[in-house]
Amino acid sequence: MFRYTFAVIDKGAIAHNVDAIRRRLAPTTKLMIAVKANGYGHGAVEVAKSAIRGGAVAFAVAIIEEGVELRAAGIERPILVLGAVTAPGLAVAAREKLAVTYTDTWGDIANIPVLQNPVQVHVKVDTGMNRLGLRTGEAVLRVVRAILHRPDMHFAGLYTHLACADEPNSPHTQRQIKRFDAVVRALVQAGIELPCLHVANSGGALQDYQYQMVRVGISAYGYSPNPEIDFALVLYPALHLYSMITRVAAVPAGEVIGYGATYKADRPLRVATIPVGYADGYPRVLSNRGYVIIHGQRAPIVGRICMDQFMVDVTDIPGVQSGEVATLYGNEAPADWTAAAFDERSHTSQIQLISETFIRHGIGVNTLSLHEVAKLANTISYELMCAISSRVPRIYL
């Protein structure tokens, strides 16, 4: 590691979270873990392996390429591609044993060239998300019959996606479930053998809309789909972001800080520079709004977030020195993670230091959760996780 910024990913937390969710489910319900978008930024392959330890039996991705990556890494469990798949992509899905979701752009299913290997197809019902899927029972029946007609396609699943599953007792969810059940009844009445039925994301799974399988994402990474609700489940956030101060300097009263001179010092300040920017996926909207944790205290961001760096006000935190660690979100960093300690170690020994001193299980009283940072950035934890760019080293514990 030749930079002073890294993400720590606690694989044990992922295994714990998956196991905790699995214990909530009926023994017959399959637990599929969503590892799309590089495992919500955590690293899809590492997440998948940890999730298997916690009892995951299948994985969901958004695009074929994400499924191919998992197969190349030796993940052999069932994988479902949730998003649209091109017609030529079907051959790749078949070869790599990736289940796909029926996609409207395919046109007449009967005209798709014969595939070398059979492919599993899940049919999505649009029950009120108005994003993807077939809207009526008749449309579903037509597509299912066309799939059943082909020896190279297997009708493997029927599913829908809930728009408000993170809200308890949502009337919209109840309406979606009703519509889904009506489509299921239409298939039964038409004498079609039912495939795997699944509707729930994390919110749905925690509210017990189980059917035969649930598709859990955010909760596997340690976050409640709705932090305002107590789902009576202990989850540990897996992702933590740290950086080390590269300079501490005095800024005289009246000086301005950063691009656009958007912050003016109204008193003499001590300002620390953090080598993280929007190119690392740290949102620029946190300019003059966000915080980092240094010495267990909040240091407010001053001035604009740059591409690779930003500045924080440490005037009220005594004794802050360059080289000291800052927690951007997650469990508070131990004080012995300093630039000097990292500089004198090999890469392996840096990782050893991190893994031996990482504060497990729970956010310290004075630290910052990703959820809170996301709120300050007017977004949700999901977006900030996915945003962490490839140039941020991930240290797996």
Ligand X SMILES: *Cc1c(COP(=O)(O)O)cnc(C)c1O
Query: Which residues participate in catalysis according to the annotation?
Result: 36, 259
Q: Which stretch binds ligand X (CB under 6 A): 51-59, 217-225, 269-277, 349-357?
A: 217-225
**What distance in Å separates the CA atoms of residue 211 and residue 267, rounded to the nearest whole number?**
61
Q: Which stretch binds ligand X (CB under 6 A): 67-75, 143-151, 185-193, 216-224?
A: 216-224
The residue within the footprint of ligand X, chosen from 22, 161, 179, 304 (CB under 6 A), is 161
**218 touching ligand X, by CB under 6 A:** yes
**215 touching ligand X, by CB under 6 A:** yes
**201 touching ligand X, by CB under 6 A:** yes
Q: Which stretch binds ligand X (CB under 6 A): 9-17, 215-223, 260-268, 338-346?
A: 215-223
Determine phi and psi for 306, rounding to 5 degrees: -90, -175
Nearest approach, Cβ of residue 225 and ligand X (Å): 5
Q: Which is nearer to ligand X, 16 or 36 (CB)?
A: 36
Nearest approach, Cβ of residue 125 and ligand X (Å): 12
The residue within the footprint of ligand X, chosen from 89, 222, 225, 237 (CB under 6 A), is 225
The residue within the footprint of ligand X, chosen from 8, 81, 82, 238 (CB under 6 A), is 82
**207 touching ligand X, by CB under 6 A:** no
Q: Which is nearer to ligand X, 40 or 263 (CB)?
A: 40
Nearest approach, Cβ of residue 160 and ligand X (Å): 9
φ/ψ bin of 17: left (φ > 0), alpha (ψ from -120 to 50), beta (otherwise): alpha
Q: Which stretch binds ligand X (CB under 6 A): 13-21, 69-77, 178-186, 209-217?
A: 209-217
- The set of residues, in sequence order, having a beta carbon less than 8 Å from that of 163 and lying 6+ positions away, is 128, 129, 172, 173, 176
Nearest approach, Cβ of residue 41 and ligand X (Å): 12
What amino acid is encoded at 276 in this protein? V
**What distance in Å separates the CA atoms of residue 391 and residue 128, rounded to the nearest whole number?**
38
